[in-house]
Amino acid sequence: MSIGVNFWVKKQAIRVIIYIMVITSISILGNLKYNEFSNSKVNRLMVINPCQWHMFKNKNFFATNMITTFDKIKNVTSNPMKQKGKKAFLTFDDGPSGNITPKILEILKEKKIKATFFLVGLNIKAYPNLVKREYEEGHSIGNHSYTHEYKKIYANMNSFLNEVNSTDSAIKSVLGDKYIKKIFRFPGGAFDRYGDYKKALKAEGYQFYDWNCLNGDAEGLNVPKEKLINRIKNTVGNQEKIIILMHDMETKKTTYEALPEIIDYLTNQGYEFATL
Ligand SMILES: [Zn+2]
């Protein structure tokens, strides 16, 4: 009887040891893999080590990382305008600027809203840390030419593509190759113009976006806050999808002053915020 019990205890002990060894090996292997890919957000989620399951239990970690990752992949081919329901796309052009962009980022963080920034190459060179911050805080980054000088940009096809490509290089010099989004906003807007340039952009894999709603902050210097809010209310109309044009260049102080009320107004109108 006692021999039988001893044998059973030994057998159980060996089982436990083998079990511990297997778990440890899986965990070590998993860690190696995880570290190998930890520089890449896209790959990180494809390697799940048992020790990191707790992160997946944490809803916020899961939501932020999964949504960011899949959005990045999805946006390469799909059109965000086809999302269901009332959507508002806040867009800020011409930045970053050292004084206005940080204030706008603070408001967006406070309101837990993601926006789209169409950047000018020269300003990317001047404020690389703000570009990094925009990206790391989950906002979408787009191309808005290198110089923003209409005469230069629209001189000819060569000049146009040079403006687009040098801005793309500037963004990649800050964000690295993890920046895969190809979205463009024509300085001054395209609407029914620039057919050849549009074709060239599409051939390069770009999506371009004009706007159908605006705060009017480009219609003068220091346009009063109330006027900006009213311009939004008047241009929203009954549109289900609104792409809102705003600017975060250094003279646009009233743009960030009006932003919290604009966000609240759109939320009350039933819009959800999304990025391009
Ligand atoms: Zn612009």
Q: Looking at residue 47, what is its pLDDT?
A: 32
What is the CA(185)–ligand 1 centre distance, in A?
8
**Do 22 and 50 contact (CB within 8 A), yes or no?**
no
Structural domain count, the chain? 2
Q: What is the pLDDT of residue 27?
A: 59
Q: How far is the CA of 91 from the centre of ligand 1 (A)?
A: 11
Residue 93 annotated in active site: yes
Residue 76 falls inside a structural domain: no
CB-based contact 197:160 (threshold 8 Å) = yes
Identify whether residues 33 and 92 lie together within a single domain: no
Domain assignment of residue 72, yes or no: no
The answer to whether residue 233 is domain-embedded is yes
Ligand 1 centre from 77 Cα, in Å? 25
Last residue within a domain, chosen from 67, 101, 124: 67
122-161 residues labelled b (16+ CB within 10 A) or e (exposed): ebbeebbebbeebbeebbbbbbbbbbbeeeebbeeeeebe
Catalytic residue of the set 139, 144, 148, 247: 247
Kindly state whether residue 146 falls inside one of the protein's structural domains.
Answer: yes
Centre of ligand 1 to C-alpha 266, Å, is 23
Sign of the four-CA dihedral 35, 36, 39, 45:
negative
Cβ partners under 8 Å of residue 236, min gap 6: 213, 242, 266, 269
User: Looking at the domain assignment, is residue 15 inside a domain?
Assistant: yes
Same domain, 163 and 124: yes
* Structural domain containing residue 260: 85-273
Distance CA 244, CA 52 (A): 39
CA dist., res. 241 & res. 52, Å (int):
38
For residue 150, being part of any structural domain is answered with yes
Q: What is the pLDDT of residue 10?
A: 79
User: What's the confidence (pLDDT) of residue 79?
Assistant: 86
CA 197 centroid distance within chain? 25
Tokens of 239: 């549109």
Same domain, yes or no: 140 and 239: yes
What whole-number distance in Å separates Cα of residue 138 and Cα of residue 275?
9
CATH number at residue 256: 3.20.20.370
Question: Exposed, middle or buried, 108 (CB in 10 Å: 0-12/13-18/19+)?
Answer: buried
Contact assessment for residue 212 and residue 187, using Cβ atoms and an 8 Å cutoff? no
Kind of pairing, strands 241-247 and 272-273? unpaired
Of the residues 38, 67, 96, which one is the last residue of a structural domain? 67
Asked whether residue 152 is assigned to any structural domain, the reply reads: yes
CA of residue 171 to ligand 1 center, whole Å: 17
- 62 and 90 together in one domain: no
Does one domain contain both 159 and 61? no
Same domain, 117 and 198: yes
Q: Please check whether residues 46 and 162 belong to one and the same domain.
A: no
Contact between 118 and 143 under an 8 Å Cβ cutoff? The reply is yes
Residue at 140: amino acid letter: S
Residues 91 and 60 placed together within one structural domain of the fold:
no
CA end-to-end span of the chain, whole Å? 74
| pLDDT per residue of the chain (276 residues) written in tens, 0 to 9 | 455 667 777 788 778 777 777 766 665 555 443 333 333 333 333 333 333 333 333 333 333 333 333 344 444 447 898 899 999 999 999 999 999 999 999 999 999 999 999 999 999 999 999 999 999 999 999 999 999 999 999 999 999 999 999 999 999 999 998 899 999 999 999 999 999 999 999 999 999 999 999 999 999 999 999 999 999 999 999 999 999 999 999 999 999 999 999 999 999 999 999 999
Whether residue 140 is contained in a domain is answered as yes
The catalytically annotated residue of 71, 93, 217, 248 is: 93
Same domain, 28 and 60: yes
204 shares a domain with 244: yes
User: In DSSP terms, which residues pair with 246 in a beta bridge?
Assistant: 92
What does the DSSP 8-state code read for residue 204? T
Could you tell me if 42 and 110 lie in one domain? Answer: no
Centre of ligand 1 to C-alpha 44, Å, is 35
Question: How many whole angstroms from 15 Cα to the centroid of ligand 1?
Answer: 68
Whether 120 and 175 share a structural domain: yes
For tokens 């403006």, name the residue.
163
Q: Of the candidates 41, 67, 93, which is a domain's last residue?
A: 67
Give me ligand 1 centre to Cα 49, in Å.
45
